[in-house]
Amino acid sequence: MPVAPSHPATFSLPNTDPDSATRSTDTDASHARLSAARLGYLPDPFAPLFVTRPAGVSNRPGIINVGTWLRTRSVDELVEQFVARTAGEGEAQVQVQVQVLSVGAGSDTRFWRLATGPLKDKIARYVEVDFPEITASKARSIYKHRELKDVLGECTLGGGGTSLHSAVYTLLPVDLRQPPSTALAALTTPAPAPPGSGARAPLLSRTLPTLVLAECVLPYMPPQAGEALLAWAAGAFGGAGVGVGVVLYEMFGLGDAFGGVMRENLAARGIRIPGTLPSLAALQSRFTSAGYARSSALTLQDIRTHYVPPSETERVAQLELIDEWEELDLVLRHYCVAWASRGLEGEGGLGWGLQKAGGAAGE
């Protein structure tokens, strides 16, 4: 006969929020970034500041650390190329400020790394958008840590703590599954102002080169919503002579056995990925359909093999012992970095792209 418990049973109600599982992937990403930084894969002094109780977070497996390193260095290279762009030729070259829109930004630290680096004066505006629960958490972290808040200068909270505004950086709550003409209207539409003072300028200008970042975002969205977001960015910022660039990082090609396991593992956590595409060619075709003139896409395995200097590969190989090389290869073949541009073609697309080790930009 079972022994009766010495205390009343406790019950927890099921989580009825369908988006909570998707939001939890940002915790995965922040812990992976912290692990990679802590072990020396990449420099990121801001990574611990967006993690709750970082001392209690264990290091991730080597496979995840390598993937985080490749993802971060690849996206960083594309971002820094875009931000460092100039206009004109020869002695007539002039520096050009740019603006960045990071969608589904989560706990990303890139703004702080740029704003404390040599390219800080090239950033005219930097806007991050995500679920309100995510932006509220990020705003709290910014206000909690002086190292983050001091970079912003004077800033104000809004939206019940879900938005944050400063001279350069803005954080906004947005549901990206809604039509971008509505969900992102505040970015390109003049804001109302008190009577007699005139409308306030939009958060983002149509006259500055614009870079859109979406890291592990579109796979979680319905395909039509992801396509609409890309098309909106091309139309809003892709004017000739100004132009727009897009950088994506996402999983793809999940139709094989390994991809099926990935889907099952995510589904077990309640995570759906309706927006994944079957191939790199499909990613480039999506860019073309959305109005972009140039695009490229590479798997993380291609990047690791051909686009990382041997000295860097050797440095990383010394950080920790990895036995699961076959599994690592499979993982890296199912994740990619893709980039596209519109309105920048007069300058050869900036010669913009990941550079082969000792060679030209990737195609």
Task: State the SS3 of 160-221.
Answer: HHCEEEECCEEEEECCCCCCHHHHCHHHHCCECCCCCCCCECCCCCCCCCEEEEEECCHHHC
Q: What is the pLDDT of residue 352?
A: 85
- In three-state secondary structure terms, 106 is coil
Whole-angstrom distance, CA of residue 32 vs CA of residue 61: 9
71 is in an annotated binding site: yes
* Inter-residue contact 203 to 127 (CB < 8 Å): yes
Token code pair at residue 315: 């440095």
Tell me: is residue 26 an annotated ligand-binding position.
Answer: no
- Please answer whether residues 189 and 233 qualify as being in contact, where contact means their C-beta atoms are separated by less than 8 angstroms: no
Q: Are the beta carbons of 26 and 282 closer than 8 angstroms?
A: no
The answer to whether the predicted template modeling score (pTM) of the entire model surpasses 0.85 is yes
Superfamily for the 60-351 domain = Vaccinia Virus protein VP39 (3.40.50.150)
Q: How far is CA 29 from the centre of its chain?
A: 10
Which helix (H) or strand (E) is 110 found in, with range?
helix 110-115
Q: Name the residue among 131, 125, 105, 119 with its Cα closest to residue 18.
A: 131
3-class state of residue 337 by DSSP: strand
Q: Which residues contact 222 (CB under 8 A, 6 or more apart)?
A: 177, 274, 275
Question: Using CA atoms, how far apart are residues 117 and 94, in angstroms rounded to an integer?
Answer: 20
How would you write the pLDDT of the chain (363 residues) with one tens digit per residue?
Answer: 433 333 333 344 455 687 899 999 999 999 999 999 999 999 999 999 999 999 999 999 999 999 999 999 999 999 999 999 866 555 555 678 999 999 999 999 999 999 999 999 999 999 999 999 999 999 999 999 999 999 999 999 999 999 999 999 999 999 999 999 999 999 998 866 655 555 578 999 999 999 999 999 999 999 999 999 999 999 999 876 789 999 999 999 999 999 999 999 999 999 999 999 999 999 999 999 999 999 999 999 999 999 999 999 999 999 999 988 899 999 999 999 999 999 886 544 456 899 998 765 555
How far is the CA of 291 from the CAs of 10, 95, 123, 284, in angstroms?
A: 55, 27, 25, 11
DSSP 361: B
DSSP E strands, 219-328: 244-251, 294-299
Distance CA 327, CA 306 (A): 19
The one-letter code for the residue type at 287 is: F
How far is Cα 313 from Cα 187, in angstroms, rounded to an integer?
Answer: 40
- Residue 18 CA to chain centroid, in angstroms? 22
Measure the CA–CA gap between 72 and 58, rounded to whole angstroms: 20
Binding residue per annotation — 329?
Answer: no
Q: Which two tokens stand for residue 111?
A: 């703004």
The single-letter code of the amino acid at 337 is: V
Q: How far, in Å, CA of 124 to CA of 209, rounded?
A: 10
Amino acid at 303: I
The alpha-carbon radius of gyration of the chain (Å, integer) is 21
Q: Which residues of 290-300 are buried (b: 16+ CB within 10 A; e: fewer)?
A: bbbbbbbbbbb
Q: Residue 130 annotated as binding? A: no
Annotated binding residue 175: yes
Strand (E) or helix (H) holding 70: helix 62-83
DSSP state of 5: P
Distance CA(66)–CA(74), nearest Å, equals 12
Range 17-21, long-range pairs (CB < 8 A, 24+ positions): 18/270, 19/131, 20/270, 21/269, 21/270, 21/271
